[in-house]
Amino acid sequence: MSKETTNQSRRQFLGNASTVAALSIAPGVMLSQVAQAKPNDQEVNDSVRWGLLIDTNKCAKDCTACITACSDEHGLDNSTHSDRPDNAKIDAQWIRKVTIRDTETSHVTTLPLMCQHCENPPCVDVCPTGASFKREDGIVLVDKHICIGCRYCMMACPYKARSFVHEDLHNQKPDTPRGKGTVESCNLCVVRVDNDRQPACVEACADEAEGAIIFGDLKNPNSEISRQLAQHGGTRIRADLGLNPGVRYQGI
Ligand code: SF4
Ligand code: SF4
């Protein structure tokens, strides 16, 4: 999984009313509640909106615990089975570390970036088949059975959060069926969430690192994520685009 450094200004990355340039990113809080996801006997509905809150102050530059956990959870590391003649590693882009530098203060921030599970997702708007869709609880997904691989959604996503599966796939995980010739992105570990579990990256960060990521219901004022947001605030990356991401950041 790639870790990239961008030289773009922090202001451009975060966006503001006067910044209309496209996002040019190419490729804390200790977890105090364990079970914040959906009990498996509860239907998916819009009474909740799942989201993530990432405290960048707790995200060490060289830590890749979340990336490794995501890769393990979803069987994304296909490198040893690549069908490419040069056996080149083909990385999925479900989550990656991005480093931004404030051009005014030179302050450097490292943060994990995944699908932002937008409330108004352009990837869904442009999908000609309905393969890209948003669940009532805010999780944005791709139905690989309907995806025709046109990649319109990849072009529409301002966060460059989606990737295309070029290679043959082997040893897939039963909970994350992938498809050659289709597009994919972070699914917020939907199978875990539907079974009252935390996303893999959240769990790994709490267990192996500083507990920089909180998962929870943004609509529930009593959830840990809502309390932290109410207390310390949170930043939406490229808020100026009006997509209202479900992933929020602190420390930027
Ligand atoms: S971040 Fe990109 S892929 Fe995810 S919902 Fe928003 S537009 Fe779609
Ligand atoms: S929520 Fe799950 S799929 Fe999304 S980045 Fe975290 S581990 Fe990966």
CA of 141 to the centre of ligand 1 (A): 9
Specify the pLDDT at position 78. Answer: 64
Specify the pLDDT at position 171. Answer: 82
Specify the pLDDT at position 93. Answer: 79
Q: pLDDT over 70 for what percent of the chain?
A: 80
CA of 85 to the centre of ligand 1 (A): 32
Specify the pLDDT at position 170. Answer: 84
The pLDDT mean for the chain works out to: 85
Write down the pTM of the prediction.
0.84
Q: Choose which residue among 64, 66, 186 to substitute to test ligand 2 binding: the one with the highest number of ligand atoms within 8 A of its C-beta.
A: 186
Cβ atoms < 10 Å from Cβ of 17? 7
Q: Choose which residue among 114, 141, 207 to substitute to test ligand 2 binding: the one with the highest number of ligand atoms within 8 A of its C-beta.
A: 114
Q: Choose which residue among 68, 139, 187, 249 to substitute to test ligand 2 binding: the one with the highest number of ligand atoms within 8 A of its C-beta.
A: 187
CA of 200 to the centre of ligand 2 (A): 6
Q: pLDDT over 90 for what percent of the chain?
A: 69
Q: How confident is the model at residue 83 (pLDDT cuts 50, 70, 90)?
A: low
Residue 75 has pLDDT above 70, yes or no: yes
Specify the pLDDT at position 79. Answer: 53
Q: Give yes or no for residue 138 CB within 6 A of ligand 1.
A: no
Mean pLDDT over 58-75 rounds to 95
Mean pLDDT over 151-158 rounds to 98
> What is the residue-wise DSSP string for 23-46?
P----------S--S--TTSPP-T
pLDDT in tens, 100-124: 888 888 888 999 999 999 999 999 9
Residue 185 has pLDDT above 70, yes or no: yes
> What is the residue-wise DSSP string for 117-185?
--SS-HHHHH-SSS-EEE-TTS-EEE-TTT-----HHHHH-TT---EE--S---S--TTS---TT-EE-
Specify the pLDDT at position 182. Answer: 97
Ligand at minimal distance from the CA of 237 is: 1
Query: Atom 7 of ligand 1 has which residue's CA nearest to it?
Result: 157
Residue 21 has pLDDT above 50, yes or no: no
Ligand at minimal distance from the CA of 205 is: 2
Residue 80 has pLDDT above 50, yes or no: no
Ligand at minimal distance from the CA of 243 is: 1
CA of 185 to the centre of ligand 1 (A): 8
